[in-house]
Structure 1
Amino acid sequence: MHDKPEVNINWFPGHMAKAQRMIREHLKLVDVVIELLDARIPLSSANPVIHEIIDNKPRLVALNKADLAEPDRTTRWLAHFREQGLPVVALDSMTGKGSKALVSRVEQLAGDKIAALVAKGINPRAVRAMILGIPNVGKSSLINRLLGTATVRTADKPGVTRGKQWIKIGKNLELLDTPGVLWPKFEDPEVGFKLAVTGAINDEVYDREKVMAKLLAVLRENYSERLTVRYKLTPPLPEDSSALLALIGAKRGCLRSGGLIDDEKARRIILNEFRSGKLGQFTLDDIQ
């Protein structure tokens, strides 16, 4: 029997509701909406409320952190979005791969709007776009990459961006950065789990023990070879997540006085290596 406990997370900071109001207020100022998703969880990192808010505004889907996702599955996700009639690009905002394609697509999507202004005798202006996404999906890192300088405050934790700001990207693009928007409630425990392990949710607001037990079960079931190689384990791996955690903890020297395994230290190591790509590339969402 596989150890896969349900992970229930309920999280609604007040600034989320404020962010949604801000988006509605400023939507009329922009020509294009860039919806930034995590390529590892394209479904779980999407917010259905965004679709209602932006209505008929041109939208570009950007799959960020593609360097951390499984390439063949990212290819399938790109095809899936195109089949839905949505323009889409894959990005690695840390290295800049895909950022030029993103700017080009945004300018294309705003072409009709700018042409209409010119037809009315108004001088051409820069395309105005809004970047939307859940916390920690990489909005600030993307803007920094587009600017070529670290002028927008970033951190590898949710909720760092506050308020709004216009950012000029070259001559032809202006970005309105907004705080991330997330569901007020996680109705699907699977979604909550995926958001937790990829870092979209602050590590203090969920049960790390349950989340890591589930992650270890998923890794053992689907990526056992990666665990074996990374932590120098001898197969077969134990089916019980607690036993597997203890095994990895022992290999990594996570010991307390008396020779006991420091479970929490072992959990932090595994989670950090999962998020950073040291355990390989992962895509947790399947196309439905």
Structure 2
Amino acid sequence: MQIQWYPGHMTKTRRYIEKTLPLTDLVIEVADARIVKSSRNPDFDRLLAGKKRLTVLSKKDLADERINLLWRDYFERAAIPAVFINSTAGQGVSEILPAVRRLLKEDLERAAARGMKKTIRLMICGVPNSGKSTLINALCRRRATDAQDRPGVTRGGQWVTLQSDVELLDTPGILWNKFEDMQAGIHLALTGAVSDEVVDREGLALELIEILMEKYPANLERRYKIHLEPQNSPLEIYEAICRARGFIMRGNEFDYSRCAAVLLDEFRAGRIGRISLEEPDA
């Protein structure tokens, strides 16, 4: 399944990041804990070169806790500053600004030695629907930006005051212009980073079922009250879910479209369980 999505506003966002990056001291890169590899934009290594960076893994409550621990160990071994959060519940959010201050310790000490009180200026960036706006609202403890479970909500950069000496520049979600890794495109679409309007949702639902059959079969059985056999194909399980949920149209035809919408929505909301699509390389 081939997926590509790079609307025009993302080119503008790239230029905006390049233009405003010199105004900032550090970048907070927000990635989705369920798809850590795919949700870290490979273009950021070039765009953000030379700038201090803190990686924030959002939606940790939706990701498999065992895989979260593997990723935590990966970042520690790679000496990459990282914080795992659940912005909705506020878990881990309080760790972010102390981590920022540790990374900027030398800059803050130099300013203090000159008798100056430095204002820390941060930029937040990430792929669409990675949880940036929800995180900003959690940091502000108020609604400072729009936060919706769909890509492309944030369309223009805006400065937000987090503390008396901390300001943050929000930026729209940005992908890269071509997914060389087909699996990355699928994972981004499954988590809602790619607009559903440009995706074959029924094909995407089949991809999800195949992943769940391999990695989380018990979750699939428990959620949809079905029984998996080793010889079952993803299509057979798709149809079993249709029957279990009553997604049958006139003429006894399966309502694949309705079933796909439910599968994707329930996966994204965590109703199928805590599921990670990627884990660190061995």
Q: TM-score, normalised by structure 1?
A: 0.93
Deviation digits for residues 60-107 of structure 1 (CA, Å, limit 9, x no counterpart): 111000000111211111221222221111011111111110111012
Take 2:53 and 2:274, find their aligned partners in 1: how far apart are those partners? 27
State the match for 1:79 in structure 2. Answer: 73
Structure-1 residue corresponding to 2:187: 194
Aligned residues: 281
Tell me the residue number matched to 1:39.
33
Using the TM superposition, give the Cα deviation of residue 10 of structure 1 relative to its aligned residue in structure 2, in angstroms: 1.8
Separation in 2 of the partners of 1:235 and 1:117?
Answer: 63
User: Could you tell me which amino acid in structure 2 is paired with residue 34 of structure 1?
Assistant: I
Hey, what's the Cα distance between the residues in 2 that align with 1:17 and 1:193?
22
| Identical aligned residues as a percent | 39
Superposed, 1:261-280 pairs within 5 Å as: 261-280=254-273
Distance (Å, rounded) in 1 between the aligned partners of 2:114 and 2:167: 21
1:95 aligns with 2:123: no
Where in structure 1 are there 5+ consecutive unaligned residues? 1-6
- How far apart are the structure 1 equivalents of 2:209 and 2:30? 28
One-letter amino acid of the structure 2 residue matched with residue 272 of structure 1: D
Deviations 1:25-52 (A, max 9, x none): 1111111111111000110101111111
Aligned to 1:3: none
Deviations 1:171-218 (A, max 9, x none): 232111011121111111100110011111100112222222121111
Residue of structure 1 in register with 2:43 after alignment? 49
Task: Name 1:126's counterpart in structure 2.
Answer: 119
- Alpha-carbon distance, 1:127 to partner: 1.4
- Contact kept, 8 Å, 1:37 with 1:45, in 2: the verdict is yes
Over aligned residue pairs, what C-alpha RMSD do you find? Answer: 1.4
User: What amino acid is the match of 2:57?
Assistant: L
Distance 1:209 1:238, change over 3 A: farther
* TM-score for the superposition, normalised by structure 2: 0.95
- Does the CA contact (< 8 Å) of 2:127 and 2:174 recur in 1? yes
Match of 1:28 among 19, 22, 27: 22
Checking the alignment, whether the CA contact within 8 Å between 1:33 and 1:58 is kept in structure 2 is yes
| Alpha-carbon separation, structure 2, partners of 1:117 and 1:162 | 34
Q: Which runs of 4+ in 1 moved over 4 A?
A: none
Aligned to 1:242: 235
